[in-house]
Amino acid sequence: MHYSTLAIWSRQQSFVHSLDTRAKLVLLVAFLISLATLRTFSLREFIGSFALLLIVSLLARLPVVKIIQRALVVLPFLGTFGFVLWLSGEPQRAMILLSKGYLSGLAVILLVATSPLPAILRAARFFKMPDLLVEIIQILYRYLFVLSDQVQRARIAAQSRGGLRKSLGFTAASGLIAVLFSRSYEKAIRVQQAMLARGRGDFFIASEPSAFQLRDFTALLFGLLVILSLRFLSYGPAH
Amino acid sequence: MHIPDNFLSTPVWAALDIAAAPAVVALSRKASRKMQQEPEASQLPLLGVMGAFVFAAQMVNFPVGVGTSGHLVGGTLLAVLLGPAAASLVVTAILIVQALVFQDGGILALGANVLNMAILGVLAGYAPYALLKNTRWRTYGIFAGGVCSVMTSAVLALLELGISGIRMPTPVLLISSMFFMMNALIEGAITVSVVRGIERLRGEPVLAKQNQERSTIRTGRPAVALGIAAMLLASIGVLIASNHPDGLEHLIEKLGIVLNTPSILSSPFPDYEIPAWGSSWISKATAGLAGLIIIYAVCALSGRLLARARRT
């Protein structure tokens, strides 16, 4: 699964990786809001924002070309609506949507490529995301790849029994999902029993985010300053 | 249909984020309280694993025509398996993972996507099932749930994009609507097929015990909701109702047909008004409510008579 690449990148060592995830999350949201609230957006603004994200990916020692390519996954949906706008006689607006959408996708990838998902969830919990939702996401994330692998194995088994057909029949596909459900349900019961055996109702939430250090605070302030500068000095205020 | 960032205008995404956040918090608190009260019956692992299950199930392609395939969306399936509140939480979790990990849907647009798919989409998917689950039309309820869930999410997304200024030309809108309707029908068929497969495998209605417990609490709620909606429509709806004649009356007027048929009975509420009160809102609303009560009484009486006839 392509996320495994992002997971590997998120475990690397760099200055950006070592920053507190709460600071990175605030900076991501600030960047997204800054981008979304711009009314005028030309090539100059695109280059400014793109350069900022490139600098962050270089500081994080990430493979820049692969990161840029990875962000292209947002294009199919954006392209569809861009095409609709172009058909409606608004080619400039279509280009703006495509550019802004691509930059937003790139920014999100940078966060996920520099922070493991559990760290992002801890930060989200700090910002009052409900504990239950955080725990559901943690269990979902824990078993996502286990169950996805089971689907792949079941598909290969079905194909090896029935030749090299690309897709299963309708009933066979339903049966496959039913088997998957049954296994998932049994897995959930086992997890529940293990949790009860440990004598606690929580699944993963044990570690609190580490203390917010001076360099995290400095990086947060500097990042906000850069985003605000780009927003108000280079771009000009929103109309 | 996951809306990415920058497609919705700032007032729209901000308003939907503000609306979605307390809804998700309320759902979480309700579920947490229930789990604290019944730790043995805790659904926490089930909710997480079911989220992963839907993710994995979305990888299975169903052949739906020559060279094309569809996949499960899963909102209705989760609502049938877990109940609507838990399903909403699980779909919210799925949307967050999709936005963060797979860049499918925006971060700022998360509120819109949660409302469209996790809350209103799941409720729209659960409502037909809840209405029909204890009848012999249960399967039709699941199918209708799948269709309603996808259509609700798609229509809401298109509406939000429209409010944000992304206007589609009519032909594109028609093609999109047909595409969504096809997807909705496929979702209905896949949901029915998967629920049947699960029941065949496990030899019992899906999570029957839990659903029975829920049904004892929630019996009659849809009927009350429908009743309140009907009363609101009958009393307040007249304010926004069109004053123009209906299609048949318009045709009669256009063709110049004069009806000279003598009337045998005179209606107590001609033109949906109480004649003595004039044509004020009170007159129309009272006539509407009176009509509603009469129709309810007739239906309730006929229902009881039919049920008695069936028993004997």
**Partners of residue B49 in chain A, C-beta under 8 Å:** 139-140, 143, 147, 184-185, 187-188, 191
- CA dihedral A209→A211→A213→A219, nearest 10 degrees, is 30
Statement: residue A117 has pLDDT above 60: yes
Task: Quote the pLDDT of residue B140.
Answer: 92
Task: Quote the pLDDT of residue B242.
Answer: 57
Task: Select from A231, A113, A152 the least CA-distant residue to B61.
Answer: A152
Would you say A126 and A22 are in contact if contact means Cβ atoms under 8 Å apart?
yes
Range 271-300 of B in CB contact (< 8 A) with A: none
Would you say A183 and A150 are in contact if contact means Cβ atoms under 8 Å apart?
yes
Confidence of residue A71 (pLDDT cuts 50, 70, 90): confident
Question: CB distance A174–B5 less than 8 Å?
Answer: no
How far off is chain A from B114, nearest CA to CA, in Å?
Answer: 13
**Partners of residue B107 in chain A, C-beta under 8 Å:** 28-29, 32, 104, 108
B68 - beta bridge partners? B65
Task: Select from A51, A7, A140 the least CA-distant residue to B96.
Answer: A140
Mean pLDDT for the stretch of residues B32-40? 71
Q: CA–CA separation, A45 vs A53, rounded Å? A: 13
CB-based contacts of A161: which residues, under 8 Å, 6+ apart? Answer: none
**C-alpha distances in angstroms, B266 versus B98, B248, B269, B275, B294?**
62, 20, 9, 12, 17
Would you say A10 and A111 are in contact if contact means Cβ atoms under 8 Å apart?
no
How far off is chain B from A105, nearest CA to CA, in Å?
Answer: 6
Confidence of residue B169 (pLDDT cuts 50, 70, 90): confident
Task: Quote the pLDDT of residue B119.
Answer: 93
Confidence of residue A56 (pLDDT cuts 50, 70, 90): very high
Confidence of residue B244 (pLDDT cuts 50, 70, 90): low
Q: What is the pLDDT of residues B54-63, one digit of tens each?
A: 888 887 777 6
Statement: residue B25 has pLDDT above 70: yes
Statement: residue B6 has pLDDT above 70: yes
Range 97-126 of B in CB contact (< 8 A) with A: 97, 99-103, 106-108
**Partners of residue B39 in chain A, C-beta under 8 Å:** 196, 201
Lookup result for tokens 């996951």: B2
Question: CB distance A167–B62 less than 8 Å?
Answer: yes
**Prediction pTM value:** 0.76
